[in-house]
Structure 1
Amino acid sequence: MEIGETLDVRTSSQFRKWLLKNHGKKKEIWLIRYKKASGRPSIDYIDAVEEAICFGWIDSIEKSIDGERYATRFSPRRPKSNWTLTNKERALKMIADGRMRDAGLAALPSELLKR
């Protein structure tokens, strides 16, 4: 799979702003992140995943771009996709923190909504 459209943000709030505007329009985005050794500021992986979950998106493939950067593919979750225990726990935390958006709630597995 080739790297498609990329997004280079440094903070989770910048990624959240992009998701707020684009989560219902885009089919994917490749989030650029910098390797620690580069010394460049970069969005934290866990922060990026949590923001994605809030909007019903998920990470998948990661590819190296060069010696300093790599790209992680984020896309909307498919209906009835498999949720890891870790991501279920993250979703519950986001709900408790009031961060989940309607699109994120709609993507949740039914057993989480019964809690």
Structure 2
Amino acid sequence: MVAPPGYADAEPEFSARSIAHISPSSGACYSGFLCLYRDPGFRGGGYAIREGVDLNDFRAFFFNDEMSSWVNATRLRYCWFPDINFSGAFEVMPAGGSGPLLHPWRDNTASALADC
């Protein structure tokens, strides 16, 4: 497993939001957040979701079928789903884990996530 870039304590302004945009140049994932990236290797920008927040439809923030890598910097186990409303065969994202590259048949298929 590749160590995620910028894995550190959350900044106060950043942690005040439930969902925050990650710029393509940053790649940082702060403690207490689950970070989803557009490209493999924690690149391409994406979104950071505060620990405890579940999302049933990635279309709400234009990230449906876009995720290629992730970092779970929370204390919770999360699962991502290929279909909205938490449906389809889920994939586990363990607490403190990361996925620098999704399997080719699962790449760009995430549509929802929840702690599980």
TM-score with structure 1 length normalisation? 0.30
TM-score with structure 2 length normalisation? 0.29
Structure exhibiting the larger radius of gyration computed from Cα positions: 1
* Structure with greater helix percent: 1
* Structure with greater strand percent: 2
